[in-house]
């Protein structure tokens, strides 16, 4: 099937919407991302620090999207218990956890000195 750039974009967007609709954590990440951007804007963070904030938000959101993809693939290919299925899901979830911890650290360094 020949696909245009627009179709590829449309499918990718459907993936993001699917993740937002089905994953509570993704909605929480998005809410926190919007709040952090709003706070950064309100505090007048310089462009470089805003860029770091946006990169960190992107890291968490990309990790959550990939985690969801791994979860769905595992559910599709291995509906029964298997230690490798567990390892795949747990490792993908670990990627989200690692990204979230980094985001907390970045948030601490960017916001705490300005707020207190
Ligand atoms: N097929 C499987 N084989 C072995 N362990 C599994 C399997 N599916 C899930 N698990 C284990 O159960 C945990 C929870 O999985 P579950 O499918 O309930 O949620 P999830 O797909 O990881 O996340 P969510 O609830 O956000 O969809 C996984 O992290 C993994 O440790």
The pLDDT of residue 2 is 64
Q: What structural domains and CATH numbers belong to the chain? A: 11-115 (1.10.287.3610)
Name residues contacting ligand 1 (CB within 6 A): 23, 71, 74, 78, 81-82, 85-86, 89-90, 93
Instruction: Give the CA distances from residue 1 to residues 14, 15, 59, in Å, rounded to whole numbers and listed in that order.
Output: 18, 19, 32
Banded pLDDT at 24 (limits 50, 70, 90): very high
**CA 86 – ligand 1 centroid, Å:** 7
Instruction: Give nearest CA residue, ligand 1 atom 12.
Output: 86
Instruction: Give the CA distances from residue 12 to residues 19, 28, 50, 53, 54, in Å, rounded to whole numbers and listed in that order.
Output: 11, 20, 26, 24, 20
CB 43 within 8 A of CB 83: no
pLDDT digits (tens, 9 = 90+) for 79-98: 999 999 999 999 999 999 99
Banded pLDDT at 5 (limits 50, 70, 90): confident
CB 22 within 8 A of CB 68: yes
Indicate if 49 belongs to the active site: no
The pLDDT of residue 29 is 97
Long-range CB pairs of 45-49 (<8 Å, 24+ gap) are 45/110, 45/114, 49/110
Residue 1: is its pLDDT beyond 70? no
**CA 60 – ligand 1 centroid, Å:** 20
pLDDT digits (tens, 9 = 90+) for 35-81: 999 999 999 999 999 999 999 999 999 999 999 999 999 999 999 99
């Amino acid at each position: 099937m020949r696909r245009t750039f627009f179709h590829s974009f449309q499918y990718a967007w459907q993936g993001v919407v699917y993740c937002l609709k089905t994953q509570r954590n993704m909605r929480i990440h998005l809410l926190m991302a919007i709040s952090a951007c709003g706070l950064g804007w309100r505090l007048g963070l310089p462009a470089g620090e805003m860029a770091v904030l946006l990169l960190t938000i992107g890291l968490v959101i990309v990790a959550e999207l990939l985690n969801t993809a791994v979860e769905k693939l595992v559910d599709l290919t291995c509906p029964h218990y298997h230690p490798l299925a567990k390892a795949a899901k747990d490792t993908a979830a670990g990627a989200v956890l690692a990204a979230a911890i980094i985001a907390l650290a970045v948030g601490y360094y960017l916001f705490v000195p300005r707020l207190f």
